[in-house]
Structure 1
């Protein structure tokens, strides 16, 4: 801004009339596109470069270009983590010298004096993130300039325009999250599946779902519901491992050992593991209800998702696919799991299995009903009620010595 209170005579020839900047001007471009599928980085990034370049000095060019194909809702340290092969395959004519995080890390070393972007939401949609980036770059001696801001005028006016733009970006971010989550909630309550189908199911196209037309970037993905896996043994295996937790109070490693002992009866790709067992036991989709929002994926830690409390889960209002267990049985299994994690000792059947193991015998559940379970121990079969009374447990253990 020109000083309106100039001296009464021309003093511009004096050596200290203007403050000299010892550093040469070195400007870099900063840009962002949300996704490579829903937007076109090959056209969006060059367009942003053209707009940002309007704030360059005459004859000046960008010394480097930093841009990402990432959601503006991500924190800075999670930006630009995509492999270089992905960026190379986008066909963007603008060179890429790194991500936003790379710019912050290298700005001082490169001697960057100005960072030019189309507008503030190209830095981030969260106001705190964009403010933090601006503050860090300015601390390193680089001024952040947005092409959509007016030139001239007062500093307060420029700042007001910038903050309004940043607040608008964050409000847009919150609105988009609300609309997206609302759509996901409806997706679940209509019975359509999110993510990979659980072990005893496959995802099949719902022929009764509304047909969506051709989208901007090709055919829209069809709605899918869960259906039993063609291999019926998977359903039986899932039902059995839930029963082992619910009725026998077995821990994950014990259930894994039982399932591994009979691979023909309990088939699985690879092998049974603790995480697979615990994941199935805790999966509410086994009840026939469709459930969404069990995990929060955007936690600020790469590759880490946080479990949401059950109160935040979104359930379909009715059963929408064939259940493995009833909702009541699933709830009982969760209660047992909570007890095991709290250090509560296992149930009476765990003692039976331990006694049988000492004798080299295997306890196998043959069939079960709501009230009883038929077990095979050695060459004998025995029917036990659920739950098993303590007196009956002791009798079974004593009788194991006569089992061959």
Structure 2
């Protein structure tokens, strides 16, 4: 049952005689005390869980009663900005490799889920931000635990005094933690924005590029957490066929309005011209077409990676993307060409287009054993090599021209 402040108060106005021997003299919790520890370290790289967590246990232990020990230990190596359900997603092997000299019975979400089953009576932590830096999260956890009669105790809070004073101290600490969280996010995102604006790459390089260390980038002296990771910029992949393949892939969407399956069939038909590690897939094709880095600009904040679903990223709206002020690496397509490709993609997904007119020409050529390759193109026309001859076709190809080309191919055959 939840405990309210007035239930914790002791009356200073006692009876005229001693009534302490009566059965209902004081409130007695018939459950045996079963305290557990809860802790958190933000990262395994910039902090040392093997030293931080034992220190937290030692501080929290000061609020144990004499000869009392924790019956379980719940801790995470996760950001305090995450809600409980997104904590503890690391593998057991990762936690074992940390060599933390205290047992781990689960994370914060495990504690909330199993507290009643385990008969937990008290949850002890060093301070409130070890539960969460977001005030709503820590309040929710406290409420869920208090609802089943579990008291949450923070070692840095004073003992004695009034319940209102204790509550004021706790809430001030939680407000401070949330303000710190917001400040940290502002500074972190600001740094990431500048990283992109100055032309340095985030994440894995797209197919036609590799990321190399920028020798001209400023290097910060070794700091508290060791040497800073070097800044990297994108340069064309050593295999020039990748650049040509990416350019052709984008052109097939932009000019021929082909869906991913059709593009994959074309690329897979000539692995020498369109090399790929593994095989061309729907996600690879659509991901490249949608990637604005192919324009030569550095772009950040396209995806929100923390979604709770492993391997899944939520796309942010384009208005939230951060672009470098100018092109910072060699481009595969122009910004205008990239935009046109996105418009065609949107139309295909909406079902407005059933495929490009070139599909009919390609199908006819395939039946006749002929190959089609784009030689060069501009804004209005594309020069194709069909079998042994070259044909210049407008973008897009009108139906009347499509039929004439097909008739000419069949007549020549």
Alpha-carbon RMSD across the aligned residues, in angstroms, is 1.6
- Contact map agreement 1:29 1:66 (CA 8 A) in 2: yes
- Contact map agreement 1:378 1:403 (CA 8 A) in 2: no
Supply the distance in 2 between the matched residues of 1:91 and 1:26 (Cα, whole angstroms).
Answer: 26
1:190 partnered with 2:198: yes
1:350 aligns with 359
Residue 163 of structure 1, CA deviation? 1.5
Give the counterpart of 1:368 among 369, 377, 381. 377
TM-score by length of 1: 0.96
Residue 73 of structure 1, CA deviation? 1.2
1:76 partnered with 2:84: yes
164-173 or 27-36, which deviates more: 164-173
Residue 39 of structure 1, CA deviation? 0.6
2:386 aligns with 377
394-403 or 233-242, which deviates more: 394-403
1:402 aligns with 411
Give the counterpart of 1:199 among 196, 200, 207. 207
Give the counterpart of 2:292 among 268, 284, 287. 284
74-83 or 369-378, which deviates more: 369-378
Q: Deviations over 1:370-397 (max 9, x none)?
A: 4432212233321223333443223212
Gaps of 5+ in 1: none
1:387 aligns with 396
Q: How many residues align?
A: 404
Supply the distance in 1 between the matched residues of 2:336 and 2:226 (Cα, whole angstroms).
Answer: 43
Secondary structure of residue in 2 paired with 1:160: helix
295-304 or 218-227, which deviates more: 295-304
Q: Deviations over 1:2-47 (max 9, x none)?
A: 4211222222222321222210111111100000101111111111
Secondary structure of residue in 2 paired with 1:219: coil
Gaps of 5+ in 2: 1-8
Secondary structure of residue in 2 paired with 1:116: strand
1:12 aligns with 20
Give the counterpart of 2:347 among 339, 343, 349. 339
Supply the distance in 1 between the matched residues of 2:372 and 2:33 (Cα, whole angstroms).
Answer: 78
2:258 aligns with 250
Q: Deviations over 1:159-194 (max 9, x none)?
A: 122122112211211111111111000000000000
Supply the distance in 2 between the matched residues of 1:3 and 1:49 (Cα, whole angstroms).
Answer: 35
356-365 or 67-76, which deviates more: 356-365
Secondary structure of residue in 1 paired with 2:255: helix
Q: Deviations over 1:185-225 (max 9, x none)?
A: 00000000000000000001111110122133332110000
Supply the distance in 2 between the matched residues of 1:91 and 1:387 (Cα, whole angstroms).
Answer: 62
Residue 83 of structure 1, CA deviation? 1.4
Residue 351 of structure 1, CA deviation? 2.8
Supply the distance in 2 between the matched residues of 1:353 and 1:319 (Cα, whole angstroms).
Answer: 35
2:97 aligns with 89
Supply the distance in 2 between the matched residues of 1:366 and 1:290 (Cα, whole angstroms).
Answer: 29
Residue 358 of structure 1, CA deviation? 4.3
Q: Deviations over 1:130-183 (max 9, x none)?
A: 111111111222111111112112212211221221122112111111111110
Supply the distance in 2 between the matched residues of 1:248 and 1:20 (Cα, whole angstroms).
Answer: 79
TM-score by length of 2: 0.94
Equivalent residue runs for 1:41-190 within 5 Å: 41-190=49-198
